Amino acid sequence: MTEHLELYKKELLERVVPFWMQHSKDDEMGGYFSCLNQYGEVYDQDKFLWLQGRQVWLFSMLADKVEPRQEWIDMAVHGAEFLQKYGRDAEGNWYFSLNREGKPLVQPYNIFSDCFAAMGFGALYKVKPKEEYAEIARNTFNNILARRVNTKGKYNKMYPGTRKLKNFALPMILCNLSLELEHILGKKIVDDLIDEVLHEILNVFYDPDLGFILENVYEDGSFCDSFEGRLLNPGHAIEAMWFIMDLGVRRNDPKLVEKATEISLKTLKHGWDQKHGGIFYFLDVLGNPPQQLEWDQKLWWVHLETLVCLAKAYQLTGNEEAKVWFEKVHEYTWKHFRDEEYPEWFGYLNRQGEVLLPLKGGKWKGCFHIPRGLFQVWDTLSKMNSN
Amino acid sequence: MTEHLELYKKELLERVVPFWMQHSKDDEMGGYFSCLNQYGEVYDQDKFLWLQGRQVWLFSMLADKVEPRQEWIDMAVHGAEFLQKYGRDAEGNWYFSLNREGKPLVQPYNIFSDCFAAMGFGALYKVKPKEEYAEIARNTFNNILARRVNTKGKYNKMYPGTRKLKNFALPMILCNLSLELEHILGKKIVDDLIDEVLHEILNVFYDPDLGFILENVYEDGSFCDSFEGRLLNPGHAIEAMWFIMDLGVRRNDPKLVEKATEISLKTLKHGWDQKHGGIFYFLDVLGNPPQQLEWDQKLWWVHLETLVCLAKAYQLTGNEEAKVWFEKVHEYTWKHFRDEEYPEWFGYLNRQGEVLLPLKGGKWKGCFHIPRGLFQVWDTLSKMNSN
C-alpha cells in the first residue's frame, strides 16, 4: 500500500492544489469562484458559503501540516476577508450563498455554512494567529451549539411533534469540528463534546440489528419506517468512521478503532455496486426505491472519504480486509474520477462510471474533499512507512 | 396516428385505472397510498398532498369525461374526505404531507399542494355537486392568488432584493387551473386571468433570442446568468404548450396554437437525447453543467406530456413534424416506461432507458400523469377521427 504514497502526494501538490491556486481566486471582488469547468474556467460566479469556508480551511491546513508556504496562507486570508466582510447576518449566522460581490442570496437556513466557516477561521488562526480569527471561530461554534435543537430555525418545514427525528449530519460534523477547534476551545470542552457525540453516533444512529448507521432516527434512536428513516448514505457513514478512528487514537482506545473499522467495512460491502463498481450514493435500508433520484451515482467525496477510512483502518489495526478494499477502491477512484486531460478530478459519475457532469467545481464540489482526501491518505501512508 | 386510439384507451381503462383502484385506497385510515412498488404493494404510507389532490381530480375527471361510473366517483370522494378532514392548517393552507392517519408532517410551504387540492375539489364538484366542494375549490383558488407574490411565505429562503426572480411554475399551473375551475369561478375571472397568464408565459418566460421558455427570469423577463436563470426543463415547457393550445382553441386563436406548436417542437428537438433517445429532464441553456444531478434521466411525465402536446399540435395544425415526432416519442415511451410484467408504468429511467427505480408510485409519482396523458391522447385522437 505504501507504494502509493508518492502518487497521492504528487497529485495533491502538483495537480490539485495548483488548479485551485490558478483558477478559483476572485481578485476583483474577493473570495473564491467554485463553479469551474473541466479546464478551470468559471461558469458561474455565485459564492456558496460551504465551499468558501472549506477552501479557507484547506489552504490553512496545507500551510499548517505540509509547510508554511506564504502563497497558501495568502490564499486562505483572501477567502477569510471576503467571508468576514459579507458572510454573516446581523445575528452572526452565516448565509448559505452570496452573489459575486458578496450580497446575500440565500438566507442562513443551513448550519453547515456555520460549521465550515468555523473550521476555516479556526485553521487559519493556527497559521496566522490574529485574535479576530479565533473570535469568529469561537462565536460561530457557540452559535452552532445554540442552534443545535432546531438548526433551520424558521425555515424548518417539519410540522412539530408528528414525527420527531434526529439527523446524523450535525453530530458527525461536530465530532470533527470540535477537534479542529481544540486550540481555541480548550481540551475540556472538546472532551465533553466528544463523549456526547460518540454516544450519539454509536448508540443512537448506529442500528445494531441492521448493522448500519442510519441518517435519521427517532429521538430515542429507534428505527422510523419512512423515506428519511430508511435512508443509508454509505459515504457519509464511512466518513464518520474515520473521524471516530481519529478519536480512538486521541483516547488511546483501540476498541473504538476496531468498531469503526468493522462498521465501515460492513457499510462499504453493502454500498458497493457489484455490477459496475464504485459506491452508491444513497440506499434504502429495507431495499425499497430511495427517494433520491441520484441514488446510483458515484460521487467523488464518497470515494475519497472511503480511501481515507480504509487507509486509517489498515494503519491502525492491520486489518487485511481493509487493505484489500483500499486497493479496490483506489483502483476504481483513480481510474474514473481523475481527469487525465486536465488537473483536478471529476465529481459526478453515472452508475456506469462515466462522467455525468464535466465540472471540477460547482455548487457543492469545491476545494475540499479531493485535496483533503489526497492529503489524509498521503499522511496515513507516511505513518505506515515510519511504523 | 389514429391507429393508436384503441391502444391508449385500453391501456388507460384496463391496466392503469384498475391498478390505482386496486392498490392505492387506504380503507382503514382514508386517503390514498401513493408509494407502490412494481406489483402495487405499499412500501411507504405517508400521504403527499400533491398526489392526494391529483388523484381526486383524476377519478372525478374520468367520471366526468369518460362515463359517470359510481366506483370512480366513490374513489374521488374517498380522497376528498380525507383531504377535507386533515389537509389544511387553520388559515386554509394545504400541508405538503401527512402521515398515514392524517397528522401533518410537512408544513404548507408548497403552493402546488393548494393548486392540486383546488383542481381535485373543482373536478369532484362537477360529478358530485356538493356546495362544500365548490367552496373549498373557490377559497383555495383565492388563497393561491393571495399568496402569489411570495408563495413560500416564511419558508422562503431567498434574501429579499438581491436577485429578484420569477418562477415559471405558478403561471403555468394557474393557466390550467383557472380553466379547470371555470364552472366555479365564472367566465370573467377566467378570461382575465388567461390574458395575464398568456402574457407572462409568452412575453416574460419565453426568451425570443434563445427560443426557449426559461424556468426563472428577472422580474422584467430578462435573462439571469445563474443556475436558476440558465435552467431549462423541456418537459415543463412542452406541458405548458399544450395548456396554451387549449387556450388557443378556447379563444379561437390559431396563431396562438401555431406559436405553441413551434415552441414545443423547438424545445423537444433541443431536449431530445441524440445518443440514447428520450427527453432530458434538465438542461443548462448555455450548455454548462446543470445543478440537478438527475438532469440526464428520463421521466414518465415529461414523455406523457410531450405525447399530449404533439397529438394536440397535429390535430389542431396538421403540422407534419408534430406527427413524425409523435411517432418517435410514442415508440420510445411505450417501449421504455410501460411495464410488460405488471400494470401501470415505471416513472424513472436512467439516461440509457433502463429502469432506475422499480416503482409505480412514490413521493412525486401518483395517479396523474400516466392516466391523464393516456386520456388526453385518446381524446385528441378521437377528435381527429371525427374530423
Chain A hits for B225, CB-CB cut-off 8 Å, are: 44
Are the C-beta atoms of B61 and B55 separated by less than 8 Å?
no
How far is it, in rounded angstroms, from Cα B251 to Cα B259?
14
pLDDT, tens digit, for every residue of B97-120? 999 999 999 999 999 999 999 999
Determine the length of chain A: 387
Between chains, do B288 and A37 touch, taking CB under 8 Å as contact? Answer: yes
Binary contact (A104, B362; C-beta < 8 A) = no
pLDDT of residue B387: 62
What pTM was computed for the model? 0.97
Task: Enumerate the H helices of chain B as residue ranges.
Answer: 5-10, 17-23, 49-65, 70-86, 111-127, 131-147, 169-180, 182-185, 187-199, 234-250, 254-271, 300-317, 320-336, 369-386
DSSP 8-state code for residue B158 = B
How close does chain A come to B131, measured CA to CA in Å? Answer: 31
Looking up cell 474533499 gives A369
Which CA distances in Å does A147 have to A113, B32, B266? 13, 37, 49
Q: What is the mean pLDDT of residues A355-371?
A: 98
- pLDDT, tens only, B239-286: 999 999 999 999 999 999 999 999 999 999 999 999 999 999 999 999
**Ranges in chain B, pLDDT < 50:** none
Separation of alpha carbons A353 and A370, rounded Å: 17
Q: Do B107 and A159 touch (CB under 8 A)?
A: yes
Contact assessment for residue B227 and residue B283, using Cβ atoms and an 8 Å cutoff = no
Strand partners, A97: A48, A106
> For residues A60 and A120, is the Cβ–Cβ distance under 8 A?
yes
Q: Nearest CB to A358: which of B109, B157, B289?
A: B289
Which one, of A39, A153, A42, lies nearest residue A94 by Cα?
Answer: A153
Q: pLDDT exceeding 90 applies to what percent of chain A? A: 94
Residue A115 is placed in which grid cell?
460549521
Distance of residue B242 Cα from the nearest chain A Cα, in angstroms = 27
**Once rounded to an integer, what is the mean pLDDT over residues A21-49?**
98
* Partner residues linked to A348 by β-bridges: A299, A357
Supply the Cα-derived Rg of chain A in whole angstroms: 20
Closest Cα in chain A, distance from residue B268 (Å): 21
**For testing contact with chain B, the best of A38, A39, A42, A44 (most B CBs within 10 A):** A44
Size of interface A-B (CB pairs under 8 A): 104
pLDDT of residue A206: 96
The C-alpha of B346 sits at a distance from chain A's nearest C-alpha, in angstroms, of 12
Q: Hey, of A227, A288, A349, A364, which one would you mutate to test binding to chain B, going by the most B CBs within 10 A of its CB?
A: A288
pLDDT reading at A293 higher than 80: yes
Mean pLDDT estimate for chain A: 96
| DSSP state letter for A82 | H
Q: Tens digits of per-residue pLDDT, A113-124?
A: 999 999 999 999
Query: Are residues A350 and B159, on separate chains, in Cβ contact within 8 Å?
Result: no
**Three-state DSSP state, A329:** helix
CB B232 within 8 A of CB B205: no
- How many CB atoms lie under 10 A from the CB of residue A320? 9
Residue B89 corresponds to which amino acid?
Answer: D
Mapping DSSP to helix (H, G, I), strand (E, B) and coil, where does residue A94 land? strand
**What is the ipTM score, two decimals?**
0.95
Give the relative orientation of helices A234-250 and A300-317 as an angle to the nearest 10 degrees. 30
| Cβ–Cβ contact A324 with B under 8 A | no
pLDDT at position A353 over 70: yes
Lookup result for grid cell 430508511: A230
Pairwise CA distance, residues B68 & B316, whole Å: 28
A64 Cβ under 8 Å from any chain B Cβ: no
- pLDDT tens for A158-175 read 999 999 999 998 888 888
How far apart are alpha carbons B135 and B149 in whole angstroms? Answer: 23
Nearest-5° angle of CA B317, CA B320, CA B321? Answer: 105
Query: Residue A100 has which C-alpha cell?
Result: 459575486
- What phi and psi values does residue A11 have, to the nearest 5 degrees? -60, -45
**Which residues have CB under 8 Å from B240's CB, separation 6+?**
B168, B172, B175, B201, B213
Q: What is the DSSP code string of A156-208?
A: --BPTTTS-EEESHHHHHHHHHHHHTHHHH-HHHHHHHHHHHHHIIIIIIEET
Integer Cα distance of B197 and B170 in angstroms: 9
Task: Write down the pLDDT at residue A236.
Answer: 97
| Residue B229 and residue B216 in contact, taking contact as beta carbons nearer than 8 Å | yes
